[in-house]
Structure 1
Amino acid sequence: GSVYGATYESTLSQRRVRDLVLTDKSGTINWFAGGSGLVRVDTRYRNKAGATVVVHTQANENTTVCPDAAPNSTFEYRSLFIPEEHSIDTFALAWTTAEEPFPNTYRFDRSDWVVLSVSDETASDGGGKNTLIDDDLGTFWHSQWEGGEAPLPHWAIIDLNSPKKFIRIETYRRRGNTNSKTIQYFVGDDPDPESSDWVQIAEGAFTSGDKVTIDIPASVATDKGRYLKIYLPDSNRPPLTSIAEIYLYGN
């Protein structure tokens, strides 16, 4: 059989990082496709408790999940190769520190969130209220227009599962549609839309694009309740509105 050594190893290069995503529960590394002979990638990172963790990603996997990865922390990785399918030796490249650390802010994981109720909707147009947290900008919650248009304002209530201290809200309206205008955000411990418990924490307005980003001052207590209410008081084409996604960020 063939003998491989330093000459073969000199032709190898690390698998390249495509991008990084951080939530409150984990960090995700998305990879470009690996080179010929790649077996796996080992990733070494620091979690929020300060412990070093190593995870392994096979060559046919394009994503590495790092549970409880710390914000703004660096990580190292190495690629392992075999020159032929039945080779005995595995060639491991030296550990390399990633050029970019995990972000210093994280996007809250929404897998345990629930859209409890909305003022009205046309589920056949966009998909209905649950699309607010489905991570798909092509779907959206649209105000009622079938069988008559529901009047303004429109609102939606989301159960965040627990109070959240967040520093930024990112909201997308329906792609390419300018109906939605002003959006207000409230938190509270009572999901009743008419409750006196709601506290307004932010307000923003869509301009020319599909996204509005609002930074929340540290002095604003966003963790006063587990429920988030979004409130649409007006429209550029009254009374129609449509919202695609809502993301919250912490640090």
Structure 2
Amino acid sequence: MKLKYIVECLAFLLCLAVFSSCRKGDEYKKFFGDGELIYASRVNKVIVHPGNRRILLSAILSNDPLVAKIKVLWNQGKDSLVQKIVRAPENDTLDLMIDNLEEGGYNFVFYTYDKENHPSVALNVSGVVYGESYSNSLVNRRVKALKYGPNENILHFSWANPNLDDVGVELLYKHKDGSIRTKMFLPNSTDTTLYDFDANTNFRYRTLFKPDSNAVDLFTVNYTEIIVPGFERELDKSKFNLYLLPTDATTAHGWVMPNMWDEKYDNGFATINQMPQWFTFDIGLSASPSKFKIWQAADRIYEKENMRKFEIWGSGNPAADGSWDNWTKLASCESRKPSGLPGIEKNEVDIAFAKAGEDFVLPADLPRVRYIRIKVLETWGKAGFVTIGELNVYTKDKNK
């Protein structure tokens, strides 16, 4: 009796298996009493490509040759798109572009139909459409600094870090031959160089954004104009050297003069007790200085031994006895605080200003010099010796 029951069950399951395989592909059959409901094969999957007030839906079709058309519904079924399926050789993807959509999230319902208009089981797919709100949230990537190379046709860009959707910067510039050219900088490029631009023109740039790796559209913002400063380049500090003359203040406290040009900002140069005092160094070549950028010793900003009032002198052939013969005064300088607070008082703005380095612009058309002498008249704390954290020297000379 038990064996007979098992045989009957196996026979029933076998009949079901045979019956369900009668139709090719992934079609489904449902039975209600004596009737039969046939379902067409639905799409395998849909890849969503968000866009600007539109969306591209790439439907991966099944291999069922009976499927003849596809229908997509959205907005709770109020809107729809129907398209016939024309299969191309070795292409199982059907791209459906839906335009003129409002910004926001959507649920798309997919149906396919066979040649007898039997529908498939529904496939629900979610997607996001971008628009004005997203566009208004975008801002151009910031240029942190521009720095000339050895001549006026080489310019180094230092870019701020990109945001997550940044896919690059498009730069428009005038080439040396007079043509307008475009250069792309990738988001992972924070330091880039332009070699072939016309030095007498400004630049325009804009950042390109892609809200999703599958997005069908790029978003842009308005162009930002870069006002290119007049040519000025930093002298190569690897050529700087101590040039000690008999009347110069010497090193003390373990802070040696080469610390002034080592690109390290946690130490510096310090002198012996003597005021006023001066010290000399060799910039390694003959140049007409246009600007000095000086960093204060970071552990005593606007205090103690950091310079407040000083003079910058230059010479091409200083007197060996340390006198002031053959020296030309290039500038009288006074360090300032943005806050204007008295004495050694300071605020966060003052500290940030000093840590960025303070510029001291020299008069135009100064003579070429090779040796620099800084004469210190007063420090912020009225101290007897002097400290300097770091120092850069610039020139507008166009030759190395």
TM-score (norm 2): 0.47
CA displacement at 1:143 relative to structure 2:
0.9
Match of 1:3 among 37, 42, 49: 49
The within-5 A match list for 1:87-236 is 87=214, 91=218, 93=220, 96-104=222-230, 106=232, 108-118=234-244, 119=248, 120-122=250-252, 124-125=254-255, 128-144=256-272, 153-159=277-283, 161-166=285-290, 168-174=291-297, 175-179=301-305, 180-190=307-317, 194=322, 196-206=325-335, 208=343, 214-218=360-364, 221-232=365-376, 236=382
| Cα offset, 1:157, TM superposition | 0.8
Question: Is it true that 1:40 corresponds to 2:184 in the alignment?
Answer: no
**Shift in Å, 1:16:** 2.4
- With the length of structure 1 as denominator, give the TM-score of the two structures: 0.69
Say whether the 8 Å CA contact 1:142–1:241 is kept in structure 2.
yes
Q: Give yes or no for contact 1:15–1:34 (8 Å, CA) kept in 2.
A: no
Q: For the residues of structure 2 that align with 1:57 and 1:31, how far apart are their CA atoms?
A: 12
Structure 2: distance between partners of 1:56 and 1:114: 36
Does residue 59 (structure 1) correspond to residue 184 (structure 2)? The answer is no
Distance 1:14 1:206 in 2: 35
The match for 2:101 is: none
* Larger RCO, structure (CA 8 Å, separation 6 or more): 1
Deviation of 1:242 (Å) = 0.8
Give 1:237's aligned amino acid.
Answer: A
Q: Any conservation in 1 of the 2:52–2:217 contact (CA below 8 Å)?
A: no
Q: Quick one: structure 1 residues 33 and 2, their matched pair in 2 at CA, closer, same or farther if it must change by over 3 Å?
A: same
C-alpha displacement at 1:62, in angstroms? 3.0
Shift of 1:142: 0.7
CA contact under 8 A between 1:142 and 1:243: conserved in structure 2?
A: yes
User: What is the identity, as a one-letter code, of the residue corresponding to 2:141?
Assistant: R
- Return closer, same or farther for 1:70/1:232 CA change in 2, 3 Å cut-off: farther
The answer to whether the aligner puts 1:16 opposite 2:141 as a matched pair is yes
Q: Which amino acid aligns with 2:229?
A: P
Q: Following the alignment from structure 1 to structure 2, what is the Cα–Cα distance between the partners of residues 131 and 50?
A: 44
Report the alpha carbon displacement of residue 114 of structure 1 after superposing the two structures with TM.
1.1
| Deviation for aligned residue 1:188 | 1.9
The aligned length equals 238
User: What secondary structure is seen at the aligned counterpart in 2 of 1:184?
Assistant: strand
- SS in structure 1 at match of 2:259: helix
The answer as to whether partners of 1:116 and 1:159 remain within 8 angstroms in 2 is: no
SS of the residue corresponding to residue 131 of structure 1 reads helix
SS in 2 for 1:6: coil
The superposition leaves residues 215-246 of structure 1 with CA deviations (integer Å, 9 ceiling, x where unpaired) of 4333xx423323322233666222x1112233
Residues 134-193 of structure 1: per-residue CA shift (max 9 Å, x gap): 45554321114xxxx578623031315331252x44434332433235422222223676
Identity value in percent? 15
Residue 101 of structure 1: CA displacement? 1.7
Counterpart Cα distance in 1 of 2:177 and 2:289: 19
Higher percent of residues as helix = 2
User: 1:229 & 1:69 partners in 2: Cα distance?
Assistant: 36
1:181–1:2 Cα change, 3 Å: closer
Equivalent position amino acid for 2:285 in 1: N
- CA-to-aligned-CA distance 1:59-85 (integer Å, 9 cap, x gap): 223344344767784322233445554
Tell me the distance in 2 between the aligned counterparts of 1:49 and 1:227. Answer: 39
